[in-house]
Structure 1
Amino acid sequence: MNQQDQPAAVWPKRSPVPQVPQPEVSANVSMKEALCQVFSVALLAVEDIDEGDSDLPQLCSEYIKDIYGYLQRLETQQSVRPKYMNGYEINGRMRALLIDWLIQVHSRFQLLQETLYLTVAVLDRFLQVQTIGRKKLQLVGVTAMLLASKYEEMYSPEICDFVYITDNAFTKAHIREMEQLILQSLNFELGRPLPLHFLRRASKAGNTPTQEHYSTYNENHLKPIMEHIARNIVSVNEGRTKLQAVKNKYASSRLMRISLIPQLTSTFVNDMAAALLPEPKP
């Protein structure tokens, strides 16, 4: 997600489920044989990525396809409007600064990855339905992280920890009051599907046709998103932005220094980002 821009969470329409090619059936072939041919073609068309998981009950292989279908429907129901901050006192730049700081708080508290993703989801879903001034934006951010921690963590940081992390800019009473407002505004619905959920599924479906089948996205859907990600990578690597929390986080050995791999400075990434980057000044 581009931290400096407001999120465009209304994604492109998904591709229809790929059609299975129909075998030619002569007049001499029985209906039973024809059905066998159809099913054979279907089985060969797409790999069943859950086939080997039946002995791992935590992977829910019997229900996993229904689960992800539900998550996709829920994602649409709880979507965040693009450019929802238009006309607000706060703007995308302020949101970007807040999230950059929240990433540092998240690392300091050593919270789960799901907690950070849910924090951002709660933040955006709340801000698009409630008008908040800039003086309360940080309060919304820490309260969103408190709620996400309660939802995802086994041991959540306490309210006093968030008071401390804001240098006592807000009291425990302020955070409790904001917590109630956020929950009421979201109808207590915190179970939003996260990018991390879909990423894990997509990583399992590695090759191109299988990936398209299970994600329901094709290359035309992915390329614009990839260009925005490439632009962010180049902006960070070339020092075009001061928002460096993500790069610093993933530069640690604990996360395999993934933000420092040479592929992120490759010609491929730079070429992909070029269309969205401003021309260099002469």
Structure 2
Amino acid sequence: MKEEEEEPCPAFSNALLVVQDVDEEDGDLPQFAQNIYLHVLEVEQDVRPNYMQHYEITERMRAILVNWLVKVHSRFQLLQETLYLTVAILDRFLQVQPVSLSKLQLVGVTAMLLACKYEERYVPEVGDFTYITDGAVTKAQILKMEQLILRTLNFELGRPLPLHFLRRASKVSNRDTLAKYLMELTLLDYNMVHYWPSEIAAASLALSQLLLVALPWSPQQQHYSIYDAAHLKPIMQHIAKNIAMVNEGKTKFQVSCEEQYSRSKRMKISLIPQLNSSIIKTMAAALLSNP
């Protein structure tokens, strides 16, 4: 008589059930392989920390430029990907090619032009960028800078963006509206340029769900993001610092993305009371006391 088959070891079978396959509904799309490729690419095209040391331009000048680019991005009604790629091109270029303050706006608008050509179906004319600068830069200057940026970056513009990682991660936790606002604030923060896009996305999502539903980072989210809660904590502290600085007016200028996310179109997410909670103040305290 054939012996009955034993039940699988409970510990093993339970372990298999811990992580749900969030890509199951996507059919044959190679999501997992694509995610690995994006991680490889973000490492290859990284931005080093403190790259502006000994530069004429400062982190405040960079923040003012990026804040202005957010306004231009809104004025031209461009895709969100275009904004993130603009800043990625800007930082990757500046860490290799220092420029004077007089050329900083030129680099910024040229980076946006290149990002538009990469992401947009309908690209603004070069003349639109000269107009938006009130004639501070010319068409000829933009076209010359475009060639310099492309040569400097070896024509490699396809850096992964935080949005790419957030889309997949938000399948596990649907808190992406607040996470997008938190991610956009990081664009202004020079002290966060060295974090990989995947880290920014995971930390923004982790903080958004902590604020909205008081849920910790789960094993499933760790599996799909590859980052555990301990790894994300210092990044979340930087994001909390950005929120606190906006709340307390320490940026010294009107933060464009805060204004945009206060509108009904963005669910007025920058106005929610959770952004003034004790969680934010506690997480930001150490960085604000030691800028």
Aligned residue type for 1:234:
A
Structure exhibiting the larger radius of gyration computed from Cα positions: 1
**Correspondence for 1:221:** 231
* Distance across 2 between alignment mates of 1:259 and 1:93: 22
Aligned residue type for 1:50:
D
Secondary structure of 2:122's match?
Answer: coil
* Distance across 2 between alignment mates of 1:101 and 1:170: 15
Aligned residue type for 1:249:
Q
- CA deviation after TM superposition for structure 1 residue 36, in Å: 9.3
**Correspondence for 1:232:** 242
**Correspondence for 1:51:** 24
Equivalent residues in 2 for 1:52-71 (5 A)?
52-54=25-27, 61-71=28-38
Aligned in 2, Cα 1:36/1:178: closer, same or farther, shift over 3 Å?
farther
* Distance across 2 between alignment mates of 1:117 and 1:29: 59
Unmatched 5+ stretches in structure 2: 174-216
- CA deviation after TM superposition for structure 1 residue 41, in Å: 5.0
Aligned residue type for 1:226:
M
Equivalent residues in 2 for 1:71-86 (5 A)?
71-86=38-53
* Distance across 1 between alignment mates of 2:70 and 2:275: 21
Secondary structure of 1:110's match?
Answer: coil
* Distance across 2 between alignment mates of 1:133 and 1:273: 32
Aligned in 2, Cα 1:53/1:133: closer, same or farther, shift over 3 Å?
same
Secondary structure of 1:187's match?
Answer: coil
- CA deviation after TM superposition for structure 1 residue 197, in Å: 0.7
Aligned in 2, Cα 1:45/1:241: closer, same or farther, shift over 3 Å?
same
Aligned residue type for 2:261:
Y
Aligned residue type for 1:147:
L
Aligned residue type for 1:159:
V
* Distance across 1 between alignment mates of 2:218 and 2:125: 44
* TM superposition score normalised by structure 2: 0.79
**Correspondence for 1:274:** 285
Cα shift readout 1:223-250 (whole Å, capped 9, x = no counterpart): 1111111111111111112231121111
Aligned in 2, Cα 1:42/1:90: closer, same or farther, shift over 3 Å?
same
Aligned in 2, Cα 1:38/1:277: closer, same or farther, shift over 3 Å?
closer
Cα shift readout 1:170-228 (whole Å, capped 9, x = no counterpart): 11000000000000111111110001111111111236111100110011111111111
Aligned residue type for 1:262:
P
* Deviation beyond 2 Å, 4+ runs, structure 1: 33-43
Please report the RMSD computed on the Cα atoms of aligned residues, expressed in angstroms: 2.2
**Correspondence for 2:135:** 168
**Correspondence for 1:211:** 221
* Distance across 2 between alignment mates of 1:118 and 1:139: 16
* Distance across 2 between alignment mates of 1:65 and 1:176: 39
Secondary structure of 1:275's match?
Answer: helix
Question: Identity over the aligned pairs, expressed in percent?
Answer: 63
**Correspondence for 1:184:** 151
**Correspondence for 1:250:** 261
Q: State the number of aligned residues.
A: 244
Unmatched 5+ stretches in structure 1: 1-27, 55-60
Cα shift readout 1:33-72 (whole Å, capped 9, x = no counterpart): 8999898455313111111222xxxxxx530100000000
